[in-house]
Structure 1
Amino acid sequence: MKFDSKALLAAAGLTALAFTPAYATEGGDQATKPGAFIGASAGVPPPGIYMFNQVFTYDANLVGPGTARLNPPGTKTGVQAAVDVQGFLFVPGWTFLGATYDAVIVQPFVQQSLGSPINVQAAGMFNTYIVPVELSWKLGTSGFAIKTGLGIYLDDGATTSPATLNGPANPYYTFQPELIVSYLANGWNLTAAMYDEINTENRVTHYTTGNIFHADFTATKTIGKWTFGPVAYYVGQVTDDSCPVSCTALGGSILNHVQRYDEWAVGGLIGYDFGPASVSVWATQEVYAHGRNDAALAAAGNDPSLMAQGMTVFATLSYRLWAPEEPAKAPMFHK
């Protein structure tokens, strides 16, 4: 059976890192791992129920102006994560306003750590990610397609401390609207997947992380059963955090966190279609990372901003669990 496995990734949000806000790095603010939509497209596979298993490793170091106080000369603080994701894509065959409907549910499991001198480790279930509605339009026979939807990270993940700050999950909801634009013709998948993280208030600290914008880029070619090509992603925080009176009363402050950042990564993808299942692997290296906290610099004369910058290796196995039965064909008779 051959199907467009890359469409299974179109709403598969993956966790990044969720460390204590005292060391709020670029990874600590994100719910979705940058690049999670690499290899996806605005297309939708035929009606059925699909499953995808995704794993990735992230190996990085903290960078940014805050490292001047954190690390003695010649030392670095490492960031590591290993994540396993189980997801389901539901394509019932419905249409709405000319678009094909689908829905997604994803459950990530996380193992993560920050090295010395922070020394924080966590493992367990991350927030469940659901996309109750995605709509995909094909623009005639041009090969272009557009998909839009709304993902939600539920506040249901595992915690490992009474304050729920050092566990693998975020103690708040994240809403993630998405827009995916693709050219899908002659074996090409040229896709830009754009999505924004909008966070609710942390129910423990009352701190609210600002909006985080993602853009994942795929430019692959399929020849026979093989798919390959360059990929890239951008992620950046586009609005400041907020810490109301209830937050400052607990010792919180936006002066301790990176407020704006930009990060770029580049890499490559290779995939193979086995028929009943498809496998793809991509790797990216973050080549630019810059974070800042202008308010802290003005108030205290120093910027504590920290970011993780490193390499990601990501693998996906996708396959169809169930498909509606085809109508029985009438027998053909010949004289």
Structure 2
Amino acid sequence: MKNKLVAARAGLVLVLATACPAIATAAEGGNTQYGLGSSQFYSGAIPPFPGVYALSVTGYYFANQLNDGNGHKLPLDFSVKVSSQTVRLLGVTNTKFLGGTVWGQLVIPVVLNLDVDLGPLGDSRGGLSDIIVSGGLVWHDGPSTYIVGVDTALPTGSWHAGRLANPGLNHYSTQPTFGYGYVDHVNPTWEVAASLRYIVNFENPATNYTSGNELVLDYAAGYHFGPTRLGVVGYYLNQITDDKGRGVGSNGNRGRGFAIGPAVTYDFLPMTQLSVSYQKEVVAENRPKGGNIMMHLSFKF
């Protein structure tokens, strides 16, 4: 084993936890500066009407297994539990550019409680995580929605190398994204959505460690039964480049992951929606392997 941070990812839009001492895992601490699987049907859900919209996400992530680079469970007494609350504020403007509508958003994630156990060690912590600011363009073409944008993650969350649990990651990242959604808004039946992002991680100045760049695909597919939608949601993660820094293994500490699970959504009003989902991680390489429960509530101010 190498002296390197170990941890688990959680919740919506970057609820993050780190632990030490440890083994080589994907990225620094096995973390990704994005809430994997959090976009779901909202990947292509920027409304065509100007205004301010809110998405509240309550998340609970849990894992009792840490996998090596081949996806095999490591012989470690390991567990992580994270409860989180994230608020996404989305502003859709009247401004047009290249035929699309300009939008911007602010994502504020808060770790309500983070419990990490690694062998005889344990820690519990909460607080603000890493805030994301973003902007881009959206095009609406009948039932199809196309979104491009750039997310920037800021190191606003508390972090210290000597702690077992950290709400933040202590580095910046930039994340070009593309989203697509399809649904007939007049007579909805089938609905599909996906978002693809490329995460470029910057160096953690406290450790001189740079996590490798990552490709993340969030996906969702469902069918409408009146105001109710039943569907399947999940994510795919593939780390494209090696980590750089002390303790990097021969495989570059590259990580992969895949999760899938059910989602149920109910429309209370045209602009108010509640969704509950569960995603089980069926593939995890150089990462924890667990499950994620999320509740999304979206509405317009």
Query: TM-score, normalized by length of structure 1?
Result: 0.76
CA distance in 1, matches of 2:73, 2:265: 41
**Percent of aligned pairs with the same amino acid:** 27
1:237 aligns with 2:231: no
Question: Compared with structure 1, are the counterparts of its residues 28 and 113 closer, same or farther at alpha carbon in structure 2 (3 Å cutoff)?
Answer: farther
* Counterpart residue type for residue 117 of structure 2: G
CA contact (8 A) 1:13 1:106 kept: no
Q: Secondary structure at the match of 1:210?
A: coil
Structure 2 stretches lacking a partner, 5+ long: 1-10
Q: Which has the higher strand share?
A: 2
2:147 maps to which residue? 147
1:197 aligns with 2:199: yes
- Which of these residues, 132, 144, 147, is aligned with residue 129 of structure 1? 132
1:317 maps to which residue? 297
Question: Compared with structure 1, are the counterparts of its residues 261 and 120 closer, same or farther at alpha carbon in structure 2 (3 Å cutoff)?
Answer: same
- Which of these residues, 244, 253, 259, is aligned with residue 253 of structure 2? 259
Task: Map 1:12-31 onto structure 2 (within 5 A).
Answer: 14-20=13-19, 22-23=21-22, 25-26=25-26, 28-31=30-33
1:79 maps to which residue? 80
Question: Compared with structure 1, are the counterparts of its residues 285 and 13 closer, same or farther at alpha carbon in structure 2 (3 Å cutoff)?
Answer: closer
CA distance in 2, matches of 1:197, 1:109: 21
CA contact (8 A) 1:18 1:30 kept: no
* Counterpart residue type for residue 129 of structure 1: I
CA contact (8 A) 2:12 2:58 kept: no
The Cα RMSD (Å) is 2.5
Q: Please tell me whether Structure 1 or Structure 2 has the larger radius of gyration of its CA atoms.
A: 1
Question: Compared with structure 1, are the counterparts of its residues 13 and 56 closer, same or farther at alpha carbon in structure 2 (3 Å cutoff)?
Answer: closer
CA distance in 2, matches of 1:90, 1:308: 35
Runs of 4+ in 1 over 4 A off after TM superposition: 24-27, 66-70, 161-166
CA distance in 2, matches of 1:19, 1:151: 22
CA distance in 2, matches of 1:87, 1:282: 18
Query: TM-score, normalized by length of structure 2?
Result: 0.84
Q: Per-residue displacement from partner, 1:43-78 (whole Å, max 9, x unpaired)?
A: 42121111221111011122324887753xxxx411
* Counterpart residue type for residue 63 of structure 1: L
* Counterpart residue type for residue 41 of structure 1: S
Task: Map 1:43-58 onto structure 2 (within 5 A).
Answer: 43-45=45-47, 46-58=49-61
CA contact (8 A) 1:25 1:258 kept: no
2:173 maps to which residue? 174
Question: Compared with structure 1, are the counterparts of its residues 69 and 56 closer, same or farther at alpha carbon in structure 2 (3 Å cutoff)?
Answer: closer
Q: Which has the higher helix share?
A: 1
Structure 1 stretches lacking a partner, 5+ long: 1-11, 244-251, 292-306, 322-335
